[in-house]
With several copies, the nearest count.
Chain A
């Protein structure tokens, strides 16, 4: 089966996010005063094939932990969905 994994990588809560802070500032400068806070992370779309969903979950978790994130500073979540073709 073919799948699309949408992976969201964010900095751990305890790690400062200067990029988010800068964007918050910039939004305030544009008068978006309603904005309280911005955190910025990475969004990855991985298309892959797998024999079944269990295997797919295993694959995605594996690649997140080995390569796609650095556990010292980042955490991740993901969604997995079947796609055509």
Chain B
């Protein structure tokens, strides 16, 4: 019987190479310069010269590695720093703004909410399950490192279109990874969004958000103060994972990928780490604590010292390693997951060791806090690196990237000329089956959204709602963003992301508190991309001002480009709102038959419909070739703010029983979602015909909310709206005969059974994924 055996050569070989490389003598400072090694780390000649002048000598190999990660885009925010400074970040409730691992907002009762969003786009493109999973793991650490108990997760996702097998693979695996991590660690994943567009074909976006609760007195920070205080590494052992992940997040160099082996997440380890860290922080013996994310020990130690204006001496030979013969360089740059850096009060290191032992984890003292302002790395008695902390952090380059308004923006046309559909209902069914519009149940049923038993509104409504134990209050949570709109109008698109997030919270009965943002863009070295970045950030700032929601944390992801194509500029807004009374919780599905249906917010103005087909998913469906050639609707922030005030007040007065914001897919989609989710039909009337009717039905971009009102409250709602000078248009009534019927100027344009609506909307993604 013939039998064969094959060994796959190249992987084994590259492992051997890596091992020999590690064992090799470390290059000298001279060689780093002569051979231009710093370039392969991503440093420019200019940056190298700057390092030489800051140090007053040539940096050694380890030092060069440390500078390269600290000065990378990922850690230094060198391209974005100047722009981010313009965000409004202050507010009466802000307890911690940007700059720490997560922002914190006061919610009364001595409690606060900590939250942050972060991208893990590049790792996901390479290994979607682990890339997405470790993204979730990282953002959870950012929250519990503040002393907060993580209570909810959200995720904002972008993939290429599902007709490509590769995209289906990336999508399925990312969802599995997100669920795999959150489910295991026991934090409910309660919301998010998913958009499909070929612009994300090679650059999927995975942005993960974590929300935590904290008592005011328990807030911990990432500071390394107090000379002589011990520094500990706690949690997982260090391996050769993802070395240079931060620097090479953008590199197209194949060696870079080889080098930065993908990190594998261990949610079980993180669950133990989470419990141990919270227990440790509660002892009051922790001086500072910071998670080790990108650039691992290097960035965590430099940032902790920088915040305190102190120095640190660390001995890498005391770091517990998973692999043999790891060099100082590798230990400093490893991105192994599930680790934290902790500074304890001197003499209390045993407290950390006891707590960690209970949870079966290691806590090893690796150094001390000094007052000389130096990050000094030893390997036993040998000094491997000695760098002023200020040189790494404060002196990191800040760039003034040129911004140029892209030509396409000046070539945009007004509304497209589409023929009016014979049957609006058929177009609505097709629209509901577009993966971007369709129900995301296929996604969120893979997430445990209920663990902790505080999830009062599960995924599927405008925002998720979770209870705040012991208070009778709740938090509403959402993420929103629409890259196509931002592409077509960067400023208004940025503003709209904020407005939409706030509107989702308001529709749920909440008062928006603050924003965390994840800014995903292409290559910032392209002036057109930088323009998109700058303008959309400015638009977000304006909306944050108008809606009084300061930015308290965030993250930037650049270089989301492949083959010269940049993704849509995709700022994602994560927002948290406070619901003062559980009785105010409101959801989007219709609740009962023979209720009045209103649209709050103007349907039209002097220029016709307030919505526009430009930028809409409907236009992308009807005429994909021209989807990017028409301007979207302008945004009126004053009108938006007024609309939100009305909705909030109407909910507070218990005038409305359901509220749903009108967003992707437009007004008919919003009606259909209310109907499908509530299993109720309606008989509705709209005005107009021709193009105006089409953009009213399918256009996007206007500030509108669909509200359901019991007849006995209809007059009160109309009065309130008049008083607040916001339009409230009565469109008709819900019914109990299971059909959604819409007519316009006496003509029936939609007549579809609710079951059929639901089938198109709910089954679409599943049918792609079979």
- Which A residues have a C-beta under 8 Å from some C-beta of B? 11-18, 21-22, 29, 53, 57, 60-61, 64, 70-73, 75-82
Give chain B interface residues in 1-26, CB to chain A under 8 Å.
1-8, 11-12, 15, 18
CB distance B4 to A53 under 8 Å? Answer: yes
The distance from the CB of A62 to the nearest CB of chain B, in whole angstroms, is 12
Return chain B residues, CB-CB under 8 Å to A76. 8
Return chain A residues, CB-CB under 8 Å to B632. none
Stretch in B258-266, B565-573, B668-676, B694-702 with 4+ CB within 8 Å of A:
B258-266
CB distance B261 to A75 under 8 Å? Answer: no
Complex: A21 Cα to B130 Cα, angstroms: 17
CB distance A14 to B240 under 8 Å? Answer: yes
Number of contacts between A and B (CB, 8 Å)?
77
CB distance A73 to B2 under 8 Å? Answer: no
Given contacts A14-B261, A77-B8, 9 further A-B contacts (CB under 8 A): A15-B261, A16-B322, A18-B269, A53-B4, A70-B127, A73-B127, A78-B5, A79-B4, A82-B3
Taking a contact as CB atoms closer than 8 A, the residue among B1, B2, B257, B262 that contacts A15 in the complex is B262
What residue in chain A is nearest B770 (Cβ atoms)? A25
24 example contacts (A-B, Cβ-Cβ < 8 A) are as follows A12-B11, A12-B261, A13-B15, A14-B15, A14-B18, A15-B241, A16-B264, A17-B264, A18-B265, A29-B165, A53-B2, A53-B4, A57-B4, A61-B8, A71-B11, A73-B261, A75-B11, A77-B7, A77-B8, A78-B5, A80-B4, A80-B6, A81-B1, A81-B2
- Which B residues have a C-beta under 8 Å from some C-beta of A? 1-8, 11-12, 15, 18, 126-127, 130, 165, 236, 239-241, 257, 261-266, 268-269, 322-323, 336-337
The distance from the CB of A46 to the nearest CB of chain B, in whole angstroms, is 14
The distance from the CB of A69 to the nearest CB of chain B, in whole angstroms, is 9
What residue in chain A is nearest B257 (Cβ atoms)? A72
Return chain A residues, CB-CB under 8 Å to B240. 14
CB distance A11 to B6 under 8 Å? Answer: no
Return chain B residues, CB-CB under 8 Å to A72. 126-127, 257, 261-262
The distance from the CB of B372 to the nearest CB of chain A, in whole angstroms, is 35
What residue in chain B is nearest A22 (Cβ atoms)? B268
Return chain A residues, CB-CB under 8 Å to B126. 72
* B interface secondary structure, majority: loop
Complex: A64 Cα to B6 Cα, angstroms: 12
What residue in chain B is nearest A81 (Cβ atoms)? B3
Complex: A32 Cα to B262 Cα, angstroms: 29
The distance from the CB of B2 to the nearest CB of chain A, in whole angstroms, is 6
Complex: A12 Cα to B666 Cα, angstroms: 48
CB distance A14 to B1 under 8 Å? Answer: no
Return chain A residues, CB-CB under 8 Å to B257. 72
What residue in chain A is nearest B173 (Cβ atoms)? A70
The distance from the CB of B242 to the nearest CB of chain A, in whole angstroms, is 10
Of A13, A29, A53, A60, most buried by chain B (CB within 10 Å of CB) is A13
For the complex of A and B, 5 pairs with smallest distance between CB atoms = A18-B266, A16-B264, A75-B11, A80-B4, A81-B3
Return chain A residues, CB-CB under 8 Å to B130. 73
CB distance A75 to B12 under 8 Å? Answer: yes
Of A11, A12, A57, A72, most buried by chain B (CB within 10 Å of CB) is A72
The distance from the CB of A64 to the nearest CB of chain B, in whole angstroms, is 8
Complex: A41 Cα to B261 Cα, angstroms: 18
CB distance A14 to B241 under 8 Å? Answer: yes
Return chain B residues, CB-CB under 8 Å to A71. 11
Return chain A residues, CB-CB under 8 Å to B18. 14
The distance from the CB of B104 to the nearest CB of chain A, in whole angstroms, is 31
Complex: A4 Cα to B336 Cα, angstroms: 27
Complex: A29 Cα to B5 Cα, angstroms: 27
Taking a contact as CB atoms closer than 8 A, the residue among B6, B127, B269, B323 that contacts A57 in the complex is B6
The distance from the CB of A74 to the nearest CB of chain B, in whole angstroms, is 8
Taking a contact as CB atoms closer than 8 A, the residue among B5, B264, B337 that contacts A79 in the complex is B5
Return chain A residues, CB-CB under 8 Å to B336. 16
Complex: A18 Cα to B11 Cα, angstroms: 21
The distance from the CB of B124 to the nearest CB of chain A, in whole angstroms, is 12
CB distance B12 to A14 under 8 Å? Answer: no
Complex: A79 Cα to B3 Cα, angstroms: 7
Complex: A53 Cα to B7 Cα, angstroms: 16
The distance from the CB of A48 to the nearest CB of chain B, in whole angstroms, is 14
Return chain B residues, CB-CB under 8 Å to A70. 127
Taking a contact as CB atoms closer than 8 A, the residue among B262, B268, B269 that contacts A73 in the complex is B262
Given the interface pairs A14-B240, A14-B323, A16-B336, the reply to whether A77 lies near B262 with Cβ below 8 Å is no
CB distance B2 to A16 under 8 Å? Answer: no
Taking a contact as CB atoms closer than 8 A, the residue among B12, B127, B165, B263 that contacts A16 in the complex is B263
CB distance A16 to B4 under 8 Å? Answer: no
CB distance B264 to A15 under 8 Å? Answer: yes
Return chain A residues, CB-CB under 8 Å to B262. 15, 72-73
Return chain B residues, CB-CB under 8 Å to A11. 264
CB distance B264 to A18 under 8 Å? Answer: yes
What residue in chain A is nearest B264 (Cβ atoms)? A16
Return chain A residues, CB-CB under 8 Å to B4. 53, 57, 79-80
What residue in chain B is nearest A54 (Cβ atoms)? B4
Return chain B residues, CB-CB under 8 Å to A29. 165
